[in-house]
């Protein structure tokens, strides 16, 4: 299996001081996880939250590109309706150049009502805006000649977008999907897919099956490295710690749903999560997070692996210590398995 990170950083008003303008914790984690063997770091983009969430992910990735050597740097996701697509194509290509071809470009149309409202964008137009922006970005990265674009939302005259990307024909595109319809749509687009961290194991298995079936239907080879699954991980030592972790997870999700009115992969006002937590002795299929001892987490990862998942993105913790422990006590089980299979 391959392991990466998913998350961001905060820089709240009144707390923006020192190096990296309040983002130093993320920078420190990024530098160490590269040495620990993590494959990638995907950063979110959010606006108007009031909690200081990271809003300029490509700026942060440009900074990290200068400090790292091999870890892949991704957006998860850049919300296309919020951006001029030509300027975005230039900025993302610049990150690809600065990083030596390490950009994974995750794109989406957003899901938070507060962001649609803040940018004064009609949610019903988001998909059309997304599609037109993708058309412009793809042409920006692949056209060797100047071109015009006369669309519903964007118009450009006689442009040649620079710099060219290092990766050819362009960096990999990733996009989030949660419903069966959106999963099939992503598979048919040729993009890679990101699955959120809120779905139960049962629903996660269903999503993978939809992806596999669609790939078979359209003749797309199934590549598990084109499917990223995000999961919250908490290694615990006792049943008491386990129960506390489960309760903390549920509280966090409830706060998020209450604040934004939706979770990724769901419609606004819908909350289909199964809220009954698993017990320490019986981690049932309703659980979404990876909670438990290292052996329990290895077992749960093995179950995900049997479904076809081989690329796990761990939600960014507050400190490096959980990631050190995961790298030391969980990752070797899968690295050794890969090494043995290659012999």
How many angstroms separate the CA atoms of 160 and 323, rounded?
43
User: In 3D, which of 238, 178, 236 has the Cα closest to residue 208?
Assistant: 178
75 found inside a domain = yes
Q: Tell me if 72 is assigned to some domain.
A: yes
Specify the CATH number for the domain of residue 121.
3.20.20.30
Whole-model pTM?
0.89
β pairing state of 147-150 and 155-159: antiparallel
β-bridge mates for residue 43, sequence order? 7, 75
- For residue 202, is it within any domain? no
Domain range enclosing 72 = 2-176+310-342
Predicted confidence (pLDDT) per residue in 83-119, tens digit: 999 999 999 999 999 999 999 999 999 989 999 999 9
What the block records as the tokens of 255 is 């706060």
Number of domains in the chain: 1
Residue 314 resides in a domain: yes
Within 10 angstroms of residue 163's Cβ, the number of other Cβ atoms is 11
pLDDT number for residue 36: 97
Residue 224 belongs to some domain of the structure: no
Q: Which contiguous run of DSSP H or E holds residue 30?
A: helix 24-36
Please list the residues that pair with 176 across neighbouring strands: 194
Residue ranges of the chain with per-residue pLDDT less than 70: 15-21, 259-286, 336-343
> Alpha-carbon distance 253 to 241, whole Å?
18
pLDDT for position 21: 54
Predicted pLDDT at 15: 63
Helices (H), 152-307: 180-189, 201-218, 239-260, 294-307
C-alpha span between 202 and 207 (Å, rounded): 9
- Both tokens assigned to 139: 């042409």
In a domain, 301, yes or no: no
Q: Is 212 exposed, middle or buried (0-12, 13-18, 19+ CB in 10 A)?
A: middle
The rounded distance, in Å, linking the Cα atoms of 200 and 276 is: 11
Q: Is 62 part of any domain?
A: yes
- Measuring CA to CA, which residue among 176, 188, 183, 180 is closest to residue 229? 176
C-beta neighbour count of 98 within 10 angstroms: 19
In a domain? residue 154: yes
pLDDT at 329: 97
Q: Are 128 and 152 in contact (CB under 8 A)?
A: yes
Tokens 């923006």 found at: 16
Which pair of structure tokens corresponds to residue 332? 């070797």
């Amino acid at each position: 299996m391959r392991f990466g990170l998913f998350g961001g950083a905060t820089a709240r008003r009144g707390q923006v001081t020192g190096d990296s303008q309040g983002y130093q914790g993320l920078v420190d984690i990024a530098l160490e996880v590269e040495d620990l063997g993590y494959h990638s770091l995907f950063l979110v983009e959010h606006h108007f939250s009031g909690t200081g969430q990271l809003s300029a992910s490509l700026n942060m990735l440009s900074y990290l590109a200068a400090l790292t050597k091999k870890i892949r740097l991704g957006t998860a996701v850049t919300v296309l309706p919020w951006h001029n697509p030509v300027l975005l194509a230039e900025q993302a290509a610049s990150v690809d150049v600065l990083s030596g071809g390490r950009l994974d470009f995750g794109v989406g149309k957003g899901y938070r009502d507060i962001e649609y409202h803040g940018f004064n964008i009609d949610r019903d137009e988001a998909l059309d805006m997304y599609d037109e922006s993708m058309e412009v970005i793809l042409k920006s990265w692949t056209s060797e000649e100047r071109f015009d674009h006369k669309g519903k939302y964007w118009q450009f005259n006689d442009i040649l977008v620079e710099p060219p990307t290092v990766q050819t024909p362009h960096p990999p595109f990733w996009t989030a999907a949660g419903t069966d319809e959106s999963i099939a749509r992503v598979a048919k687009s040729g993009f890679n897919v990101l699955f959120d961290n809120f779905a139960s194991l049962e629903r996660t298995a269903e999503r993978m099956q939809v992806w596999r079936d669609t790939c078979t239907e359209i003749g797309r080879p199934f590549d598990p490295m084109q499917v990223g699954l995000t999961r919250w991980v908490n290694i615990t030592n006792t049943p008491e710690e386990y129960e506390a972790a489960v309760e903390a997870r549920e509280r966090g999700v409830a706060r998020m749903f209450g604040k934004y009115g939706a979770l990724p992969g769901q419609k606004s006002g819908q909350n289909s999560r199964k809220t009954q937590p698993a017990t320490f002795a019986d981690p049932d299929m309703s659980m979404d997070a990876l909670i438990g001892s290292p052996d329990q987490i290895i077992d749960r990862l093995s179950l995900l692996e049997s479904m076809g998942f081989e690329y796990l993105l761990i939600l960014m913790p507050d400190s490096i210590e959980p990631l050190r422990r995961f790298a030391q006590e969980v990752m070797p089980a899968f690295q050794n398995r890969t090494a043995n299979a290659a012999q």
